[in-house]
Structure 1
Amino acid sequence: MLPPDKNKLFSKSTTIEQKYIVIKRKDNISLEHTNPFIIKKSIDYTCGGEVDKCKTTRAGTLLVLTKNTQQAEKLLKITKIGTIDVEAKEHKSLNETKGIIYCNLLRYVTEEEILDELKSQKVSHVYKWTKMVDQTRVPTGLITLTFATTNLPEKVMIGYEVVFTRPYIPRPMQCKKCLRFNHPQTFCKQENPTCKNCSDNTHTSDSIECRQEPKCINCRNNHSSLDKKCPVFLKEQELIAIKITERVDHKTARSIYLARHNPSQESSYSQTLKNTTHTAISTKIPEDQPQSTPAKEIKATTNSIDDLLKELDNKIKKTNNPPKRTSLTYELYDEDEDMDFITSYDSQKPSTSANARILRSQTKAKSTLSKTLKAKEQKTNPTNANNLKQTQTNH
């Protein structure tokens, strides 16, 4: 009896597998100024329906994300967008995913043999991790598998063994010249290399050992720029993990990271006013309750104003005297698409500018709320305006 066909075992998700297709003009002219309605009609007609996403890249090409492999196969045959001659092909890297497995049974099996046996499971590349033991490379059992699919399989079959996969998280890209992140050495704009120990770029030499105090070029702390415990390195590593696991771009990953580690405590003026107005509305007496006398109404209104003003006073006091804490605050600088992350150590309280913005916002909200409620009370009860004014003045 023949073993089951692995193509059938792992073909369940092929019908819903998405593909990235790149469309460009044959004369290599940008598609940036092409009529977007004609682009949509041409792509929808070719694919037999709407695709998932389509956007113009900086290179002037179209990057299309299809809903399934059927749309991708049809879109690869497109030859014209309106009257423009175009050609389509699959994206080189976006249609691949990398996973890592641990299998002790494959320690002494060659990469070529592993790839040949796992081709039926959409494995396109195999890399075995090794380590140095007594000046000899020894396999560790860790293997990185590249899959020709946009969805990482949960498991692979190694003979009769079921081995589970997990996403491969690469190390952050660090320039070997300036020692900053997110660009390689070939695109570095710095002329002289930076010292790995003291971050100086005037005395760097492979033959001279730096004896100055260590200083990181990224976080300015007292350690080498290549230290894997550097907070900037750890931040970059987590950003890569978010991009891979959440399948988002760098901008979205950065927003997720900031929401995790630096939740914003600053509330805008409009939001503060909205919250306080909602509180004021919620203090109204329901219609089904018996109506009170004018004196009781004035007292209830005064109490609600007192509560609201006290609440704002407490917020302002907390802003002026925040609890002591120790944290790392990151500031992001963008310059020519090279992102340099600079950290500042804050051992007492948040930055003065942040406190000032919060204080101005809450103080302004307090003043506006007080004036609004005062005008409303004068309009409804003009005879008791002086009592309300005296109550607000005390606060």
Structure 2
Amino acid sequence: MATLEKQKGTPTPLNEGGVSGAPKNATMNPEKRILPRFWIVKKEEGDFFKDSPFAIYQQLFGFVGETKMIRKIKEGLLIETASAAQASRLESIKKLGQTPVTVTPHDKLNQSRGVITCRDLLNCTVEEIVEGMSSQNVIEARRIKTRRNGTLEDTASLILTFNKLTIPQKVKAGFHSLPVRLYIPDPIRCFKCQAFGHTTLRCNNAAVCACGKQPHEDVPCNTPFTCVNCKGDHSSRSKNCPTYKTEKAIQEIKTRENLPYHEAKKKVVIATPAQGVSYAETTTSTAKQSAGLYKEVASQLLPLVKEIVQRELEALRSVVMPPPRSRMIETPVVELKSAPIEKRKQSDRTPSPLGEESDSSQSSQKGKRGWPKGKPRKIHKVQDTDVDVNIDVVDQ
């Protein structure tokens, strides 16, 4: 660690400037430089493929601690740092063990690209646009062109490259506030062999025309066409090609999730198990099947529901409702019949076991007449009966 401290110092800015065509990680102000998250550690001689992963991990852990990711790639070791301090320590490494190494930021994974549209920017040069937006982490700008009448013309849209992992929602272009859309690039296709994944400069394959035949520059293409990639009956330039759709899906996942190409390709391959079916068709097939199932079930249930509703309505119409009747009647008056005189006298002679208390209670009960104060009269309800009660009270 002592050797590492001697090598450390003020990090030197990776690049200077900030105009179109400048190095990728250039910034206008070195003091506010954003340290990249993804780095490439490369041996000056050889590669890391035959080195032990345990030895690599222990050496890197001694310098920078625990990182988010370490992966062997063709260029060297791809490392994702967890913080700016860790990135600064990683940038200062000169040796791993006794092996000299160079540490550089990854040229693509630390950037993001977005699209803006403004016709007023047609009056500005690309250099002026980059300089005016450099404080918003814009390091490169490129116009989107279109072909009209055989010539390429500038459009009002520009592709901006930002020196950070995510694009902003909006950018300021002078007094304009412009929304930023995520830019998803088209798949890379070689114009020599028509295959995807590399350019003409790195192609070692034989030349093939887009129609699938031998090159014929002075003669127009004749049908039938044969796609070099999927062997279908269309040109290799066709955007309806299943291989093109798969490559487009790889680019979309790679851009949105900020993944290397091979990892994005693995995700697409897993999601596209059927041969000859594109990723886009696979992702939309489930939704289409569900929609078709819902329509089929609805078409079968709708006549049944209509029939049931019709039956219920007819049954309700056939029922004759009785006229409304009053359910409230007065409390009937019960006739009180007098007992024989002899029995009454005999009951009067019978002594009460309670003695005087019974006499007093009887007298108190006799004294209470009428309905108790503060207690409302109860009205008895008789359901579904019509009763006419005429009872006379017989006083004895």
Flag whether TM exceeds 0.5 (same fold).
Answer: yes
Distance 1:236 1:35, change over 3 A: closer
Q: Give the superposition deviation at 1:142.
A: 0.7
SS of 1:223's equivalent? coil
SS of 1:146's equivalent? strand
SS of 2:254's equivalent? helix
Which amino acid counterpart does residue 29 of structure 1 have in structure 2?
G
- Asked whether the 8 Å contact 1:107–1:141 carries over to 2, the reply is yes
Looking at structure 1, the residues matched to 202 and 38 of structure 2 have their Cα atoms a distance apart, in angstroms, of 26
Higher helix share: 1
Distance 1:23 1:172, change over 3 A: same
- Asked whether the 8 Å contact 2:35–2:88 carries over to 1, the reply is no
CA displacement, residues 167-216 of structure 1 (integer Å, 9 cap, x when unaligned): 2111111222221222222333433x22322x123xx3211234342232
SS of 1:107's equivalent? helix
CA displacement, residues 125-148 of structure 1 (integer Å, 9 cap, x when unaligned): 111123345676543211101112
Looking at structure 2, the residues matched to 220 and 36 of structure 1 have their Cα atoms a distance apart, in angstroms, of 42
Counterpart check, 1:213 vs 2:224: yes
Q: Alignment partner for residue 245 of structure 1, among 256, 261, 264?
A: 256
Distance 1:31 1:218, change over 3 A: closer
Counterpart check, 1:21 vs 2:39: yes
Q: Which structure has the larger Rg over C-alpha atoms?
A: 2
Looking at structure 1, the residues matched to 104 and 142 of structure 2 have their Cα atoms a distance apart, in angstroms, of 26
Count of residue pairs brought into register by the alignment: 249
Q: Give the superposition deviation at 1:20.
A: 1.5
Looking at structure 2, the residues matched to 70 and 240 of structure 1 have their Cα atoms a distance apart, in angstroms, of 31
Looking at structure 2, the residues matched to 137 and 194 of structure 1 have their Cα atoms a distance apart, in angstroms, of 25
In the other structure, the counterpart of 2:198 is 183
Looking at structure 2, the residues matched to 105 and 116 of structure 1 have their Cα atoms a distance apart, in angstroms, of 16
SS of 2:233's equivalent? coil
In the other structure, the counterpart of 1:388 is none
In the other structure, the counterpart of 2:63 is 46
Distance 1:34 1:112, change over 3 A: same
SS of 2:82's equivalent? coil
- Asked whether the 8 Å contact 2:187–2:197 carries over to 1, the reply is yes
> Structure 2: where are the runs of 5+ without partners?
1-28, 280-396
Which amino acid counterpart does residue 39 of structure 1 have in structure 2?
I
Which amino acid counterpart does residue 21 of structure 1 have in structure 2?
W
In the other structure, the counterpart of 1:235 is 246
Distance 1:34 1:217, change over 3 A: closer
Residues 1-395 of structure 1 aligned to structure 2 (within 5 Å): 19-26=37-44, 28-47=45-64, 49-59=65-75, 61-133=76-148, 138-191=153-206, 193-197=207-211, 199-201=212-214, 204-258=215-269, 260=271, 262=273, 328-329=276-277
SS of 2:209's equivalent? coil
> Structure 1: where are the runs of 5+ without partners?
1-10, 265-326, 332-395
Which amino acid counterpart does residue 40 of structure 1 have in structure 2?
Y
Distance 1:134 1:328, change over 3 A: closer
- Asked whether the 8 Å contact 1:23–1:86 carries over to 2, the reply is yes
- Asked whether the 8 Å contact 1:16–1:67 carries over to 2, the reply is no
Looking at structure 2, the residues matched to 134 and 238 of structure 1 have their Cα atoms a distance apart, in angstroms, of 31
Sequence identity, in percent? 27
RMSD: 3.1
Looking at structure 2, the residues matched to 93 and 258 of structure 1 have their Cα atoms a distance apart, in angstroms, of 23
Looking at structure 2, the residues matched to 151 and 182 of structure 1 have their Cα atoms a distance apart, in angstroms, of 25
Distance 1:43 1:155, change over 3 A: farther
Looking at structure 1, the residues matched to 246 and 149 of structure 2 have their Cα atoms a distance apart, in angstroms, of 34
Distance 1:206 1:120, change over 3 A: same
